[in-house]
A and B are shown apart, each in its own frame.
Chain A
């Protein structure tokens, strides 16, 4: 009797829990599961939209994929370059945001103002506004835009000078190229790292203060403290941030736009879905590999 009642309570809790997630569950099944199955179907067929509102499918096998990969003039290049850019940007964004988070986490005058400014991209860096800010950067005659475009490294002898200096110092050309590219991309990097900075600041604040005290008493320098205490403690969030950065970068990338145009400008529905599927698969693969690589090195405190 007693046992039966306890089970029923657990069951009751389970049912309540399920009720709480029901809206999401319906949505997930409806839009994600069904949507995904339909995506696969569309990608394998020649698709026609009907005037009446429905659509017509004609099974064509892998023709859409073949078209996207081998016949479309741009798709494979765009895919490769988007993923390449993403891979270049991710480490830069991660290091930059960690660096800024450490600075902002310290106490100094005017911290609130700088925080407010640095979180501004979260608000500005999306959709309609970011498109127009990109426009603003494209240097209309006069205005700060021109100056800042120069700072972004489109021209300017400073950067060339730096480049030669690095070369003379015996820097590998690949690395210095990367650094120069980083300087050129500083706009995109800063604009894209708002959320990551917030996540890192929160991570830094959750590091127990006792660890710092111990390291101070033991006589560790600031450098050692960073690598032996701070970095391992925030490393789990590097994974979170890498995932966020990759997904975010992908959504803004050219591949998405290409697939969109293919569908809604060229009305080539099947090919568009095939393109999205392939690029999503590529991104998921990249994600899986990177997360696997990083997770093995991550230090978990608990």
Chain B
């Protein structure tokens, strides 16, 4: 009798010990997680923070060894200079118009292609979809020169040559980008087609059947019903497309799109322009202007991101990048 009681007490003790051990374990795990997450967040935010603080530095702050993060003198001159050199309001407006219109085109064209691949059976479908994957995987730089020559001497099946006797040089205008996006060959279009395709495949077929029974045509069904149901993936693709297009330098450089039109092009030459205009030889100091300019460039993106962040993450999770 006694022994059993003792055993019981022992086992109770052991249970409590185990509980404690688990608690300690949980706390340790939590601490580990916290350390890792904070560390990684620092790695991501570190350069951003340093950029923000440097943007307010004067040249004295820059060479003051005591100054870390918080400037002693502090100035808004960098922002003023960058604002002027970038012609900020106008450049921002043209850039936003450019990006927004391209995004709209991308969403419509890519969702159409994605829908076509997801819901219709036609000959060579597998092969063609393989080609979509190929366009995602194939590095674009292989094709940059043919694209360049194509738009340098643009001509639709020799029609223009008949009329005017030569092609049109479309470089330095944004038209090449529009043409390419219109035919779903814009910036990462393949990826967007893939995302839309995965999402449409996940939607129940009954929706369309019901629409069909009620006498809706294919295009009506698509625009009024399927696209409305695909809002999470539309949102995801729009954000990706907007941000990547806004930051894009590769296509902008390739087609030599006019500096005055695009923020990403303006930023590229900001440092040199400032050095020339204000006759500053010190690259350290002109860099401060660059930081200010970059901050002004990022701000619209960050605002959009903060507004849409939650829906964006949910959208990506549900929009079936995963398949």
Q: Which residues of A contact B (CB under 8 A)?
A: 10, 13-21, 23-28, 30-32, 34-36, 38-39, 42, 49, 52-55, 100, 103, 106, 108, 112, 114-124, 126-133, 135-137, 140-145, 147-148, 151, 186-187, 190-191, 198-199, 201-203, 205-206, 237, 240, 243, 247, 250-251, 256, 259-260, 263-264, 269, 272-273, 276-277, 279-280, 283-284, 287
Which residues of the other chain, B, contact A132 by a CB distance below 8 angstroms? 51, 267, 290-291, 294
Contact across chains for B183 and A143 when beta carbons are under 8 A apart: no
Contact across chains for B62 and A136 when beta carbons are under 8 A apart: no
Q: A30-B183, A38-B149, A117-B44 are in contact. Are A128 and B54 (CB under 8 A)?
A: no
Is B120 close to A, CB under 8 A?
A: yes
Among the 9-residue stretches B11-19, B32-40, B84-92, B96-104, the one with 4 or more Cβ atoms under 8 Å from chain A is B32-40
Among all A-B residue pairs, the 4 with the closest Cβ atoms = A17-B120, A27-B183, A20-B116, A127-B247
- In-complex Cβ contact of B112 among A21, A39, A116, A118 (8 A): A21
Which residues of the other chain, A, contact B128 by a CB distance below 8 angstroms? 21, 25
Which residues of the other chain, B, contact A250 by a CB distance below 8 angstroms? 139
Contact across chains for A14 and B112 when beta carbons are under 8 A apart: no
Which residues of the other chain, A, contact B46 by a CB distance below 8 angstroms? 144-145, 147-148
Contact across chains for B113 and A198 when beta carbons are under 8 A apart: no
Which residues of the other chain, B, contact A53 by a CB distance below 8 angstroms? 152-153, 166-167, 169
Contact across chains for A148 and B50 when beta carbons are under 8 A apart: yes
The distance from the CB of B117 to the nearest CB of chain A, in whole angstroms, is 6
A18 to B117, CA, bound (A): 9
The distance from the CB of A243 to the nearest CB of chain B, in whole angstroms, is 7
A127 to B68, CA, bound (A): 28
- Interface SS of chain A: helix, strand, loop or mixed? helix
A-B contact pairs, 16 of them (CB 8 A): A13-B120, A20-B120, A24-B113, A28-B184, A38-B149, A39-B146, A130-B247, A132-B51, A133-B47, A133-B51, A135-B287, A140-B54, A143-B68, A151-B43, A263-B145, A277-B142
- Interface SS of chain B: helix, strand, loop or mixed? helix
A101 to B192, CA, bound (A): 23
Which residues of the other chain, A, contact B125 by a CB distance below 8 angstroms? 17
Is B204 close to A, CB under 8 A?
A: no
The distance from the CB of B186 to the nearest CB of chain A, in whole angstroms, is 9
Among the 9-residue stretches B2-10, B73-81, B130-138, the one with 4 or more Cβ atoms under 8 Å from chain A is B130-138
Contact across chains for A42 and B145 when beta carbons are under 8 A apart: yes
- In-complex Cβ contact of A259 among B141, B263, B267 (8 A): B141
- In the complex, which residue of chain B has the Cβ closest to the Cβ of A12? B218
Is B107 close to A, CB under 8 A?
A: no
Which residues of the other chain, B, contact A36 by a CB distance below 8 angstroms? 142-143, 146
Is B180 close to A, CB under 8 A?
A: yes
Contact across chains for B40 and A100 when beta carbons are under 8 A apart: yes
Which residues of the other chain, B, contact A277 by a CB distance below 8 angstroms? 142
- In-complex Cβ contact of B50 among A17, A54, A136, A237 (8 A): A136
Is B48 close to A, CB under 8 A?
A: yes
A187 to B43, CA, bound (A): 6
Q: A136-B291, A140-B287, A143-B50 are in contact. Are A32 and B145 (CB under 8 A)?
A: no
Contact across chains for A205 and B317 when beta carbons are under 8 A apart: yes
Contact across chains for B43 and A190 when beta carbons are under 8 A apart: yes
Given contacts A123-B247, A203-B322, A277-B142, 15 further A-B pairs with CB under 8 A are A14-B122, A25-B128, A38-B146, A103-B37, A122-B240, A130-B247, A133-B48, A133-B51, A142-B62, A144-B46, A145-B54, A190-B40, A237-B322, A259-B144, A260-B253
Is B94 close to A, CB under 8 A?
A: no
Contact across chains for B139 and A251 when beta carbons are under 8 A apart: yes
- In-complex Cβ contact of B136 among A23, A247, A280 (8 A): A247
Is B275 close to A, CB under 8 A?
A: no
Contact across chains for A198 and B321 when beta carbons are under 8 A apart: yes
Which residues of the other chain, B, contact A135 by a CB distance below 8 angstroms? 287, 290
Q: A17-B122, A38-B149 are in contact. Are A142 and B65 (CB under 8 A)?
A: yes
